[in-house]
Chains A and B, each alone.
Chain A
């Protein structure tokens, strides 16, 4: 199974050593609307979870998304 950071690197092109929770679409050039949807779908597939549309739309940073994954694991 891929890790959260591996999916960030794969979809957003951010090297693992540069990944920080505060990064948002303003900091990551590849974080466009379509890539974001692919990122969400990949998180759901890899972690066997399902997010709501509100959760997806309210997340602003990588940290928000990491929290979302952890919350859905419980």
Chain B
């Protein structure tokens, strides 16, 4: 997979891109190790079964990492300098769920070459994560 290489002028408000991603058990466990977040809601089946969710959740920040993929690979891609990101976790995502990631450019600042990108992650019709990224096109 190659990163796009869009210039600031090539990108227009309303431009969008999307991709799908499924996180499997081994990836959730790797993220738990990498981040140090070994919370049993993500790593312990029997614990998770005893919660309201009944199964293990994908870490919110592992989902958040898809925002990094979006700006680094899709829009703007190679020329991206990631400046800020906010995230809201709206619904649980379980191991094996297919997530659609859609990012849309909602604002361009000509003076600073900063893009504001709205990122929505959905599981079927349900929104699971909302985010807003600010990136500079270098």
Binding site for B on A (CB under 8 A): 34, 37-38, 40-41, 44-45, 50-53, 55-56
The interface size bin for chain B is 10 to 19
Q: Is the CB of A44 within 8 A of B107?
A: yes
Question: What total count of A-B pairs have CB within 8 Å?
Answer: 38
State the main secondary structure of chain B at its contact with A: strand
Given contacts A38-B83, A38-B134, A40-B112, 16 further A-B contacts (CB under 8 A): A37-B136, A38-B114, A40-B109, A40-B111, A41-B109, A41-B112, A41-B114, A44-B109, A44-B112, A45-B107, A45-B109, A45-B116, A51-B111, A55-B111, A56-B111, A56-B112
State how many angstroms separate the Cβ of A16 from the closest Cβ of chain B. 21
Assess whether B84 is interfacial by the CB under 8 Å rule: yes
Chain B window 105-138, contacts with chain A (Cβ cutoff 8 Å), 1 for yes, 0 for no? 0110111101010000000000000000010100
Chain A residue with the shortest CB-CB distance to B109: A41
In the complex, 6 of the A-B residue pairs with CB atoms within 8 angstroms, ordered by the A residue number, are A41-B109, A41-B116, A44-B111, A50-B109, A50-B110, A56-B112
Binding site for A on B (CB under 8 A): 83-84, 106-107, 109-112, 114, 116, 134, 136
State how many angstroms separate the Cβ of B59 from the closest Cβ of chain A. 26
Chain A residue with the shortest CB-CB distance to B113: A37
A34-B83, A38-B84, A38-B134 as given contacts; A52 in contact with B111, CB under 8 Å = yes
Interface core residue of B83, B84, B111, B134 (most chain A CB under 10 Å): B111
Compute how far the CA of A45 lies from the CA of B134 in the bound complex, rounded to whole angstroms.
Answer: 12
State how many angstroms separate the Cβ of A45 from the closest Cβ of chain B. 4
